[in-house]
Amino acid sequence: MDNSNNEVTKVLEQYSQEINKEIKEVLSTIEPASLKKASIHLTKAGGKMLRPALTVLVSEAVGGNKKDAIKSAAAIELIHTFSLIHDDIMDQDEVRRGLPSVHKKWGEPVAILAGDTLFSKAFELVINTKVDGTSLGNESFERINQTLATVADACVKICEGQAFDMGFEGNFDVDEDQYIDMIFKKTAALIAAATKAGAVMGGADEKVIKAMYDYGKLIGLAFQIQDDYLDVVSDENAIGKPVGSDIAEGKMTLLVVKSLAEANDEDKKRLIEILKLDDTSPEHVSEAIDIFEKYGSAQYAYDVAMENVENAKQILEILPDSEAKQALSLVADFVVNRQN
């Protein structure tokens, strides 16, 4: 498992330099200096680069020219970064990627602007595919247009997902379908946009474009569910935050949704009490984890994540064999094999 994760790290990092070059370049002209620094801050903090790597990998897997996909890949990473900056303001999170969050360091007004700037720059980047030259002729206008539509659609969904997530706080009637729809919008939609953008820029036909969107959606769902799962089964060193943080914050996760659906009245009442606490002790966290255990909710979440990954890998069969296709299969496995 460790070996294949190392392999995936290599796969994800192979385009990092080119993608970061695009990001650095498009952000270099921002002024004044405070806005520029705030906008660049998280892009230099070393994210996984999962989303942009997926864009390039899919474009290669459908037979496209990498050159045409790099700017769209960088744009997807900027959209991800924009959403992190605004989410951190909304959730009052003070640390991100081991650094102070943007609003913590520059204040909320500049953080709102930095997010908005990255958002705008993402669209600029996709459009610049044409300006800077592609392997395509005028056909590229249509592909760029479809990619922009894909990105805009994902942005609306990210906002909707965050609004649902905030609305779910303290609402213990959320069922599994509602939960899955929320994480689709909040997390999976951008990963699906990343894979779709790769297919579009790579010149795939509509059937393959749709398949690649579905592949991205499925691994995106698995990614978020695995996050829910790791919160209770991993150890603090691996995930970089205390075990059970989601419980302490009273967050809605698939483990909570499943437990509330399955538990007897007493356990359900107790779990809700713990989730509502403002000051959650390690004992409370253990108690909640025991309730998850009793109803097999952690295992259930893992199984759902795994099933999504298996379905995602099945979808890849539409592609001809290639190194990029193999890499996409590895990435799907990584989503449930990762420890953080």
Binding site for a second copy (CB under 8 A): 30-32, 34-35, 86, 89-90, 108-110, 112-113, 115-117, 119-121, 123-124, 127, 130, 138, 141-142, 144-145, 148-149, 151-153, 155-156, 158-160, 162-164, 166-167
**Among residues 143 and 217, whose Cβ is nearest to a second copy?**
143
Q: Which residue has the tokens 């294949």?
A: 4
CA 53 to CA 139: how far, in whole Å?
24
CA triple 87-160-233, angle to 5 deg: 60
Closer by beta carbon to a second copy, 92 or else 237: 92
Distance of CA 142 to the CA centre of its chain: 26
Least CB distance to a second copy at residue 192 (A)? 15
Nearest-angstrom CA–CA distance, 319 and 224: 25
- Cα–Cα distance between 175 and 28 in angstroms, integer? 45
Closest separation in Å from C-beta 148 to a second copy: 6
**Facing residues of 99 across strands?**
96
Q: How far is the CB of 157 from a second copy (least distance, A)?
A: 9
> Please, what is the minimum distance in Å from the beta carbon of residue 118 to a second copy?
9
127 vs 233, which CB is nearer to a second copy? Answer: 127
CA distance 118 to 205: 30
Closer Cβ to a second copy, 252 or 289, answer by number: 252
Give the nearer residue to a second copy in terms of CB position, either 105 or 270: 105
Residues 318 and 204: their CA atoms lie apart, in Å, by 11
Q: Which CB atom, from 140 or from 259, has the smaller least distance to a second copy?
A: 140
Rounded Cα gap, residues 230 and 236, in angstroms: 10
CB of 52 to a second copy, least distance (A): 19
Shorter beta-carbon distance to a second copy: residue 140 or 308: 140
Query: Which pairing describes strands 99-100 and 95-96: parallel, antiparallel, or unpaired?
Result: antiparallel
Nearest CA among 305, 13, 204, 90 for reference residue 297: 305
56 contacts 70 by C-beta, under 8 angstroms: yes
Q: How far is the CB of 135 from a second copy (least distance, A)?
A: 17
CB of 145 to a second copy, least distance (A): 5
